[in-house]
Structure 1
Amino acid sequence: MRDDGKRITVLGLGAMGTAMARAWLDAGYEVTVWNRTASRAEPLAAEGATVAATVGEAVAASDLVVVCLLDDASVEKVLDGADLRGKDLVNVTTSTPGRARERAAWVERRGARYLDGGIMAVPPMIGSAESGAYVFYSGSSELFAAHRDALAVPAATRYVGVDPGSAALHDVALLSAMTGMFAGVSHAFALMRGTEAAPREFAALLIEWLTAMAPYANGVATHLETGDYTLGVTSNLAMMVEGNGTLLRTAEEQGVSAELLSPFMALMERRLAAGHGDEGTTGVIDLLLR
């Protein structure tokens, strides 16, 4: 039997919204769902969810309302006519830090508390404690404290501060690092294309190497915290810029464009030209700040 105090509304039933709603249903929550295309709610209705005919009806059904829509513009459009007074709104729609702050102010003007979320998972990971999925949350600390247990059902929670934009910023920062890794992996596979090395075997080498290099981030953190960009440096910037020549010549020999590497290498060269050859690569961060 469900606890009537465990009520939650989910607006938006794409792959992620559906996965989250299903996780709450499986955990015994009374879940009300709404989706613009009503047929998307049918599988959840068969599993026990209540399907609201309108956004207003869905919002009224629960104190805790989770929004998982296509984009920020959709959030405003969907919620524009809803009565949000006294509600706790958790928005896990992908957005930017600035948009998250704007949405928080917009929601608070309508009498609700606001929490922004950045989901570090894909839908199949939701609801599985072993998957490693988690969600960054930022905004109202009171809202987070009040609903911590419910929010932890689909994925682990990581509260990152009262600034509503902090969750989105953490999300995008990690995704940006991932994108850079994808660029390096793509370049590496391009170099090996057409050789005797089997892609699967080379992938194993890549994973081993990148895992070994991951603690590089700790060194960068130490540099930023101390202001000394030379601490613990074993391969300094002068050595790495010299070594970049070999990387570029190899790419040319293999008929591979260096366009994925060239922007970072150019920044390294600028930092070296400014007289920082004894540093690591942390100084590149200073060049990126506008």
Structure 2
Amino acid sequence: MTDDSMTTTPAPGRTAPLTLLGLGTMGTALARAWLAAGHPLTVWNRTPERAEPLAAAGASVAASAAEAVAANRLVVVCLLDDASVGRALADADLDGRDLVNLTTGTPGQARARAEWARRRGARFLDGGIMGIPPMIGTPGSGAYVLYSGSRALFEAHRETLAVPAGTSWAGEDPGHAALYDVALLSAMYGMYAGIAHAFALVRREDIAPGDFARLLVPWLTAMAPAAHRVAGHLESGDYTEGVVATLAMQAAGSSTLLRTAEEQGVSAELLAPYLELMERRVAEGHGDEGGTGVIDLLLR
């Protein structure tokens, strides 16, 4: 159910009002971006003291989450976790509200929260923030937010949502923004693991870390487009198309990587699991592929 008396389009010359629940580091960055852009903003935080600097900057501070929700149709939530969202909104009247959840969670939690919001009369949009607080509200920072769920809600508030960071539509499945978010972060941590192992290898040598970084960054940048080849393999089903360095060749070289780690007194615990998957894929008769087949080994 929606309340037609609550408009989503501000009067000419005015910016759209909204409510923000949660004033941690990210929530505060979001709030400051909307305030700087002239949006009337109502805020709430479990610890009221966090709202004081924003009140000085022009925000209205609500005494409760329910009061904050009642203030505006557009309600953005940026709390600690999914359980915090449920607790904060337990007593709020969500009927007719547009609820945008920027709280980090799993795809399953996003889908369940979308159904929860629907039962309470609200439209729902889940978001995954791809950026850190200093990037929020900073033009050209590259920060963006993935959104999924109600396309009507997204279109109605797209201009307001784009103020703190760019927007990227992930589809009408409410879980897809969280899924993209976690998948991208997982790739990032995999890269960090490789970086950590690489620096460990050279750590005890007479090699300046800065000099090594100047070699490492362009190398990783040059290798990153391999993701497009993997995507092509998954779409076509042909894991051998365009392969230059076969899995058999890569697996054969894994002993050198492991022996070097041993010689340098470095644990291979960050590297070994991937090498073991490559060798397993080769043993199953897929040595002529690239690395795409490792993905199939991960699926349970």
Q: Distance in 1 between matches of 2:187 and 2:15?
A: 40
Q: Distance in 2 between matches of 1:29 and 1:5?
A: 5
Correspondent of 1:202 among 212, 215, 235: 212
Q: Distance in 2 between matches of 1:157 and 1:4?
A: 21
Matches within 5 A, 1:1-290: 6-290=16-300
Q: Distance in 2 between matches of 1:211 and 1:5?
A: 40
Q: For 1:163-211, what per-residue CA distance to the aligned partner results, in whole angstroms no more than 9, with x for missing partners?
A: 0000000000000000100100000000001111100111111101100
Q: Distance in 1 between matches of 2:212 and 2:117?
A: 50
User: What amino acid does structure 2 have at the position aligned with 1:114?
Assistant: F
TM-score by length of 2: 0.95
User: What amino acid does structure 1 have at the position aligned with 2:88?
Assistant: V
Matched residue count? 290
Q: Distance in 1 between matches of 2:292 and 2:85?
A: 38
TM-score by length of 1: 0.98
Q: Secondary structure, in 3 states, of the residue corresponding to 1:147?
A: helix
Change over 3 Å in CA distance of 1:81–1:231 after alignment to 2: same
- Matched with 2:5 is none
| Contact residue 55 and residue 79 of structure 1 kept, 8 A | yes
Q: CA deviation at 1:2?
A: 10
User: What amino acid does structure 1 have at the position aligned with 2:203?
Assistant: R
Query: RMSD between aligned alpha carbons?
Result: 1.2
Q: Distance in 2 between matches of 1:288 and 1:265?
A: 13
User: What amino acid does structure 2 have at the position aligned with 1:180?
Assistant: G
| Contact residue 2 and residue 29 of structure 1 kept, 8 A | no
Q: Distance in 1 between matches of 2:63 and 2:48?
A: 8
| Contact residue 135 and residue 156 of structure 1 kept, 8 A | yes
Stretches of 4+ moved more than 6 A in 1? Answer: none
User: What amino acid does structure 1 have at the position aligned with 2:115?
Assistant: A
Q: Distance in 1 between matches of 2:23 and 2:84?
A: 13
Q: CA deviation at 1:130?
A: 0.8
